């Protein structure tokens, strides 16, 4: 009965946490992104401090390096999109042809004439100008919201890096003296999980750019570099990202007038890259440091999307990895750590484990 009472208490806490996360998402999403990115940049900041830089300067330099990397990626995408827009008129023509083929198919299969289809479209598009104006205003507001959130994230990253010793001491003051060693281990391992996962993911995305770029170029896809970058970047959204990127590539290839052979080439490229990623890149570069059960990995991504949208999908795996570290070091939560963990994994063989596994970095 006592064990059942504890389980119900934990379940109630989980439900309450989900409610708080949902209704506070506008505040918590930028804060969480700031914390995760601060953990990623912490080794850079520590290295700069070891060279004699003040913590404030090292935090600012680390943030500027990350911002320059992000701006460089945006400029690269903009350059590639510019080449794609040059062929926009051709894309429009191909899309109109595809649309006509769809109308012919509907007419032949369902007996709905072209005139009836046009009438249905007109009825659905009534009040079109108002809808267009509303969409334009929504786009402007969404863009402004993204810009404000991005600036807020950068501010959070700097503050987390600069005051990390203060936050660490705060956590240690919350626990008993007898549990402070365990608390330090949890903070250290949680930070390592984030750093290794995101750093490995970044290296893997660069490798995916190269592989997709070579594959799409061999197949003959126009603007192959753009689609390679797109497929690689979408890898930050586990499972759904790579399928989405490949689907967009296939649709644009169709719109560009590509043949069935070219589409099959894109799909074969996707299959080869996914095989290489799953059986070579992930074990070698990312490793098993997150160590999560595939069932709960998919589940937490779905829950993350339901609560926080795309941001929740991106943050889901790192946060669940941190939660598992917490469960593994707190006795009442160890069964839950076992449940969400992948007990069949072997020793971590990632590059980061080989390079840094024996080192115990300063956490301050």
pLDDT digit string (tens) for 33-73? 999 999 999 999 999 999 989 999 999 999 999 999 888 88
Q: Is the pLDDT of residue 358 over 50?
A: no
| Number of folded domains that form the chain | 1
From 289, 269, 268, select the one nearest 342 (Cα to Cα): 289
Decide if 60 is inside a domain.
Answer: yes
Decide if 156 is inside a domain.
Answer: yes
Q: Is the pLDDT of residue 89 over 70?
A: no
Q: Exposed, middle or buried by CB within 10 Å (0-12, 13-18, 19+), for 152?
A: middle
Decide if 92 is inside a domain.
Answer: yes
Decide if 51 is inside a domain.
Answer: yes
Decide if 115 is inside a domain.
Answer: no
Q: What is the pLDDT of residues 274-325, one digit of tens each?
A: 888 877 777 666 655 567 888 888 888 888 889 998 888 889 888 988 999 9
Residue 318 tokens read as 């790192």
Q: Is the pLDDT of residue 361 over 50?
A: no
**Residue 61 domain boundaries:** 24-103+136-164
Decide if 233 is inside a domain.
Answer: no
- Enter the pTM of the model: 0.76
Residue found by looking up tokens 């994994």 in the block: 345
Alpha-carbon gap, residue 200 to 68, rounded angstroms: 20
Decide if 321 is inside a domain.
Answer: no
Q: What are phi and psi of 345, to 5 degrees?
A: -70, 155
Decide if 239 is inside a domain.
Answer: no
């Amino acid at each position: 009965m006592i064990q059942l009472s504890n389980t119900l208490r934990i379940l109630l806490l989980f439900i309450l946490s989900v409610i708080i996360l949902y209704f506070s998402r506008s505040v918590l999403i930028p804060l969480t992104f700031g914390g995760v990115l601060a953990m990623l940049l912490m080794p850079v900041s520590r290295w700069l401090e070891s060279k004699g830089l003040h913590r404030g300067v090292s935090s600012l330099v680390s943030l500027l390096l990350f911002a320059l990397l992000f701006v460089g990626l945006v400029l690269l995408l903009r350059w590639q999109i510019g080449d794609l827009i040059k062929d926009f008129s051709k894309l429009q023509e191909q899309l109109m042809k595809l649309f006509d083929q769809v109308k012919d198919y509907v007419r032949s299969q369902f007996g709905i004439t072209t005139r009836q289809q046009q009438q249905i479209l007109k009825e659905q598009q009534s009040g079109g100008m108002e809808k267009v104006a509303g969409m334009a205003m929504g786009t402007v507001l969404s863009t402004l919201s993204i810009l404000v959130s991005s600036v807020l994230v950068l501010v959070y990253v700097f503050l987390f890096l600069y005051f990390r010793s203060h936050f660490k001491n705060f956590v240690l003051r919350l626990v008993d003296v007898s549990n402070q060693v365990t608390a330090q281990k949890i903070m250290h391992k949680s930070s390592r999980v984030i750093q290794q996962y995101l750093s490995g993911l970044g290296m893997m995305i660069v490798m995916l750019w190269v592989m997709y770029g070579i594959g799409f170029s061999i197949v003959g896809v126009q603007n192959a570099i753009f689609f390679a970058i797109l497929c690689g970047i979408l890898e930050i959204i586990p499972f759904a990202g790579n399928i989405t990127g490949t689907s967009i590539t296939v649709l644009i290839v169709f719109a560009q007038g590509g043949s069935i052979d070219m589409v099959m080439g894109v799909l074969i490229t996707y299959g080869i890259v996914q095989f290489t990623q799953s059986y070579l890149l992930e074990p070698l570069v990312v490793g098993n440091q997150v160590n999560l059960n595939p069932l709960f990995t998919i589940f937490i991504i779905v829950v993350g999307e339901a609560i926080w949208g795309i941001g929740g999908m991106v943050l889901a795996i790192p946060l669940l990895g941190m939660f598992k570290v917490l469960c593994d070091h707190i006795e009442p939560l160890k069964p839950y750590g076992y449940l969400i963990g992948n007990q069949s994994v072997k020793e971590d063989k990632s590059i980061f484990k080989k390079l840094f596994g024996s080192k115990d970095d300063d956490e301050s």
